Amino acid sequence: MNWDEIIFGNSLKAYVSFLVVLVLGLIFSGLFARFFSWLTYKLFKRLSKGKFFDEFHRLLHKPFSQLVQLLIIYAAFNQLSFPEEWNFVSVKEFGLRWLLHAIFLIALILVWMRLFKRGVDFIAYIYTHSEDSVMSPDLVVFIKSLAQIVIYILGFFVILAKAFEVNITAVITSLGIGGLAIALAAQDTLANLIGSFIIYIDKPFNVGDIVELGEVKGVVEKIGFRTTRIRTLEKSLLHVPNKKIVDSNLNNISQSSQRRVHFNLALNYKSKPEEIMQIIAEIKKAIQQESPLTGKEMTVRLVEFDASSLNILVIYFVNTIDFDLMVEVKERINLRIMEIVKSFNCEFAYPTQTVIVKN
């Protein structure tokens, strides 16, 4: 067999080399990927304290496999050459060779981007699963998302520079010329991004906290770059701009140890003073009987002569942030108040109007 025999512009030896490199490379690509994975893990070993290798392997084994396969395919096809009689233009000029070269570079850059992204995911995994972590899970998620955006942006510019040979300096310069217009158009977005940084640094609330912002009350589900998602008590999902959260008065109910109950009890004008004083004393007892779910501090006073009622102000505190438990305690006290008012032959007032006709 003549190994130097030329077939379609390449020798038989070149075709054999192509097949050997391709087949053997693909067969052992998994082994190579595991080796590179183990080698790279050493860079994170100090940070992870020798833990979480299985998670590292799960995240980075596939990207390493793809990288190895790309390099093997490149090495295999590098054994062959385009026949001169096909008259393909140079790789520097637009044509089939340029297109194949650009596709390979784009695939290679995308794999590297995925490797860096998975590396960021692993670092975030370390900080969220380490017992002595000094970073909150919410801050870890935020930094991870920010790092991934930076990777995508840098990857985009690398693709432009390497695969399409775009002059990045010229692109950045042209962006600088229109930077003022872009900044003016994106000032709200920038303000919301700064607001997200302030939220993570100041930590007025965390994901899962119950917050009250103006007329909005609900559970924080996610703190994003531009908005914070709040699941309201009506179960609707509200997106609140971070700038508005930073500039507004915010009540973090989850950081409170008590829930305040406040209402007016309206009795009609037929009620006698001694009956009202007895009702007030019994209401205080009813609130005290719910201890330790109710606090010692309370206010039960006759405070107002309304147009059609005598108003008793009732304020007490429930020692829980659980909304359902607070409502349950409030319900028991309300039912007890109804029994107390009825036991003294008094009635609740409702809007009435008395008309006196003079003879």
Give the CATH number, domain containing residue 238: 2.30.30.60
Establish if 62 belongs to a structural domain.
Answer: yes
**In one letter, which amino acid is 111?**
V
Residue 13 is assigned to a structural domain of this protein: yes
- Which tens digits make up the pLDDT trace of 80-92? 776 665 556 565 6
Among 177, 206, 236, identify where a domain stops. Answer: 177
Residue 158 lies in a domain: yes
Q: Is the model's pLDDT at 163 over the cut of 90? A: no
38 vs 317 pLDDT, higher one: 317
Is residue 105 a contact partner of residue 163, using CB atoms and an 8 Å limit? yes
Q: Is residue 14 part of a domain?
A: yes
Domain boundary among 228, 255, 282: 255
Is there a contact between 253 and 259 (Cβ–Cβ < 8 Å)?
Answer: yes
Question: Any bridge partners for residue 263, and if so which?
Answer: 314
Quote the CA–CA distance of 94 and 75 in Å, as a whole number.
23
Q: How many domains are there within the chain?
A: 3
Statement to judge: residues 69 and 123 lie in one domain: yes
Whose CA is closest to 243, among 232, 227, 230, 221? Answer: 227
User: Does the residue 210 lie in any domain?
Assistant: yes
CA dihedral sign, ordered 168, 172, 178, 181: positive
For residue 137, tell me if it sits in a domain: yes
Residues 29 and 166 in one domain: yes
Are residues 298 and 165 part of one domain? no
Are residues 214 and 105 part of one domain?
A: no
17 and 159 fall within a common domain: yes
Last residue of a domain, one of 255, 282, 302: 255
Structure-token match 């930073």, residue found: 246
One domain, residues 23 and 166: yes
- Between residues 269 and 179, the one the model is more confident about: 269
Greater model confidence, 21 or 341: 341
| Pair of tokens at residue 99 | 């297109």
CATH number at residue 319: 3.30.70.100
Q: What is the mean pLDDT of residues 112-124?
A: 91
pLDDT of residue 279: 95
The answer to the question of residue 37 being in a domain is yes
Q: Are residues 130 and 238 in the same domain?
A: no
Q: What is the pLDDT of residue 320?
A: 87
Contact 211, 220 (CB under 8 A): yes
Strands across the sheet containing 250-252 = 237-241, 227-232, 216-223, 210-213, 250-252
Tell me whether residue 357 is in a domain. no
Residues 134 and 227 in one domain: no
What would the two tokens of residue 170 be? 């010229």
The reply to whether 113 and 208 lie within a common domain is: no
20 and 157 share one domain:
yes
pLDDT bucket at 167, cuts 50 / 70 / 90: confident
273 and 206 in a common domain:
no
- What pLDDT does 91 receive? 59
For 216-230, write each residue's pLDDT tens digit.
Answer: 889 999 888 788 999
Supply the range of the domain harboring residue 310. 259-343
Cα angle 143-144-146, degrees, rounded to a multiple of 5: 65
173 and 216 in one domain? no
